[in-house]
Structure 1
Amino acid sequence: MIEERYKKRYKTGDTPWDIGKPDFNLVQAATTMEIKPCKTLDIGCGTGNNSIWLSQKSFDVIGIDTSEIAIQKAIKEASKANVKCTFIVTDFLTNKIEGAPFGFVFDRGCFHSLKSDQERKRFAENTAAYLEKDGLWLSITGNADEQRDGPGPPQRTARDIVNSVEPYFEILSLVSSHFGSNHPNPPRAWVCLMRKRRSV
């Protein structure tokens, strides 16, 4: 189970994705694109770096994660930063999230953890169900165009993303980038901004 794997990694401190600051791709998208402050869901929020940044920019944020360790740390960090966020230990795919509909959903490295097209479609369908009409979803996903020798985030092709999200979302932009990282050679990423289809 993916959730168990992540819980274990938080316990052992093996969390290279936890960079102690918001991902620059989110910062860029939220400041240059049509993402306005609104009720927001941060899926797989980890220790809250992105949720806290969004809250500082007047977004009303609920951050969810399956790791209790991560959520406890997120609550502490939000308190330190003196921002109001709601953090909940829950599983996005199996539990109902209170507070919908949301105007914006963000996920960094959650969607790409799902191995099959079917699972990713379910994630996209769930995301659409939590969004209001014309709601936006920004996903940062490992990029399969990177030739890699060592470990790193799961990698997906542009086609993997399109196949999974197309029935539920209109893709506004799909850009090749890299993850915000503390490493000199950060892993490559897709940054995909989508709008919920009106027919959904």
Structure 2
Amino acid sequence: MIEDQYKERYKAGNTPWDIGKPDFNLIQTVTTMAIKPCKALDIGCGSGNNSIWLSQNNFDVIGIDASEIAIQKALEEAAKANVKCTFFANDFLTNRLEQAPFDFAFDRGCFHSFDSNEERKIFAENVAFSLEKDGLWLSLIGNADEQRNMPGPPQRTAREIVNSVEPYFEILSLVSSHFGANRPNPPRAWVCLMRKRNLV
């Protein structure tokens, strides 16, 4: 199970995605697309850096992660930053949230961690279920256009993303970028902003 892998990696301290600050792609998208403060869900929040940034910018944030260790770190970081965020452990693929609906959902490397199109479709359906009408989802996804000679996040093609999020979401923008990182050659990423479709 994906969730178990992440739990083990947090136990071992093997968390290269934890960069100790919010991802610049989140900041850039929220500011340039003028996403207004609202009720937000951070899926796979890790140690909470992105949730904290959203909270500092007046979003009402709930962060969830499969790892209890990650949630504990997120609570500590939020206390240090003196911001009000709600964090709790949750397996998003199987447990829908009673706190829904949200206006904005964010995930940095959660959607892409599922290898099968079927699981990614379930993930997308769960995001759609968690959002209000016309709610937005911003996903940072490993980019399959990158040739790698070192380990990195799972990589997905643009076609795989489209196939997984249809029919639940309309893609507003799909931009090639890179993940926020603490190393000179950060892995490439897709920055995908989507709007929930109104399914009859």
In the alignment, which residue of structure 2 is the partner of 1:110?
A: 110
The count of aligned residue pairs is 200
Q: Equivalents in 1 of 2:103, 2:36: separation in Å? A: 9
1:195 aligned onto 2:200? no
In the alignment, which residue of structure 1 is the partner of 2:132?
A: 132
1:169 aligned onto 2:163? no
Gaps (5+ residues) in structure 2?
none
The runs of at least 4 consecutive aligned structure 1 residues that moved more than 2 Å come to none
In the alignment, which residue of structure 1 is the partner of 2:71?
A: 71
Q: Equivalents in 2 of 1:181, 1:131: separation in Å? A: 29
How many Å apart are 1:150 and its aligned residue? 1.4
SS of 1:128's equivalent?
helix
1:89 aligned onto 2:99? no
Letter in 1 for 2:163: N
In the alignment, which residue of structure 1 is the partner of 2:60?
A: 60
In the alignment, which residue of structure 1 is the partner of 2:160?
A: 160
Letter in 2 for 1:111: F
Q: What is the 5 A alignment of 1:176-191? A: 176-191=176-191
Letter in 1 for 2:6: Y
The answer to whether the 8 Å contact 2:153/2:187 transfers is: yes
1:155-197 superposed Cα distances (whole Å, 9 cap, x missing partner)? 0000000111120001000000000000100000000000000
Give percent identity, aligned residues only. 79
In the alignment, which residue of structure 2 is the partner of 1:33?
A: 33
The answer to whether the 8 Å contact 2:171/2:192 transfers is: yes
The answer to whether the 8 Å contact 2:173/2:192 transfers is: yes
Letter in 2 for 1:84: K
Q: Equivalents in 2 of 1:34, 1:128: separation in Å? A: 21
How many Å apart are 1:34 and its aligned residue? 3.5
Q: Equivalents in 2 of 1:16, 1:98: separation in Å? A: 31
Task: Between 134-143 and 95-104, report the one with greater CA deviation.
Answer: 95-104
Q: Equivalents in 2 of 1:116, 1:73: separation in Å? A: 30
CA RMSD after TM alignment: 0.8
Report the TM-score, using the length of structure 1 for normalisation. 0.98
1:44 aligned onto 2:57? no
Q: Equivalents in 2 of 1:42, 1:160: separation in Å? A: 22
Q: Equivalents in 2 of 1:73, 1:199: separation in Å? A: 38
The answer to whether the 8 Å contact 2:140/2:191 transfers is: yes
Letter in 2 for 1:100: A
Task: Between 28-37 and 13-22, report the one with greater CA deviation.
Answer: 28-37
Letter in 2 for 1:8: E
